[in-house]
């Protein structure tokens, strides 16, 4: 990303943040401090709100690849978490309070997950099978299974995920 392009996107993020902050202040008739914004988030998450630090961390690669949609959806999504935390304390992250802020205050659909392509930011994955499908676990989760004995379960069929060993040319013809 060029410095000029980066500056332009950061400016757009800040404009959206200011706009949404003003909407929240007008709606709730109270002041909200401006959160710090960082562009250091990696991996497949588009954004994360750090409640106690009053900070929003954004994924710069996903921002660059999905500029307008990212700004229109991810910035309000993360700010809504901070607004809800200040007003209601610890409540479910995508609960009724968060949904209300998203839809009634910001006028944005209360989507809990983004639909961005993640191939450019996704690390190596490992296939795991349940009774109904194949899941792909990140290297971090795969290592937790191997090192710590952590178990993961399918949300649909509720069965334990089992590592699906992929037969490569090296393992297929390996002599014992």
Catalytic residue among 31, 78, 151, 164: 78
CA distances from 46 to 22, 32, 50, 133 (A): 23, 23, 14, 26
Q: Does the annotation list 94 as a binding residue?
A: no
Within 13 Å, how many C-alpha atoms sit on residue 166's CB side? 8
- Cα–chain-centroid distance for residue 104? 22
Helix, strand, coil % over all residues of the chain, rounded to 5? 45, 15, 40
Is residue 154 within 8 Å of 136, Cβ to Cβ? no
Kindly report the length of the chain. Answer: 176
| Terminal Cα-to-Cα distance of the chain (whole angstroms) | 50
Torsion on CA atoms 30, 79, 15, 11, rounded to nearest 10: 140
Residue 78 is a catalytic residue: yes
Query: Which residues carry out catalysis?
Result: 78
Binding-site residue numbers are 77, 81
Binding-site residue numbers for Zn(2+) are 77, 81
């Amino acid at each position: 990303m060029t410095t000029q392009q980066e500056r332009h996107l950061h400016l757009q993020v800040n404009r959206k943040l200011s706009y949404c902050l003003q909407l929240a202040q007008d709606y709730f008739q109270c002041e909200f401090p401006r959160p710090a914004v960082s562009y250091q988030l990696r991996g497949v998450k588009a954004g994360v709100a750090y409640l106690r630090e009053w900070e929003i961390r954004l994924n710069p690669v996903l921002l660059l690849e999905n500029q307008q949609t990212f700004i229109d959806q991810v910035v309000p999504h993360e700010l809504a978490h901070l607004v809800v935390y200040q007003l209601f304390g610890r409540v479910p992250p995508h609960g009724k309070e968060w949904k209300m802020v998203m839809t009634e205050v910001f006028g944005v659909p209360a989507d809990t997950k983004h639909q961005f392509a993640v191939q450019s930011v996704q690390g190596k994955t490992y296939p795991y099978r349940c009774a109904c499908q194949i899941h792909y676990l990140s290297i971090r989760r795969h290592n937790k299974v191997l090192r710590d004995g952590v178990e993961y379960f399918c949300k649909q069929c509720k069965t334990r995920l089992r590592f699906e060993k992929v037969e490569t040319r090296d393992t297929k013809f390996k002599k014992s």
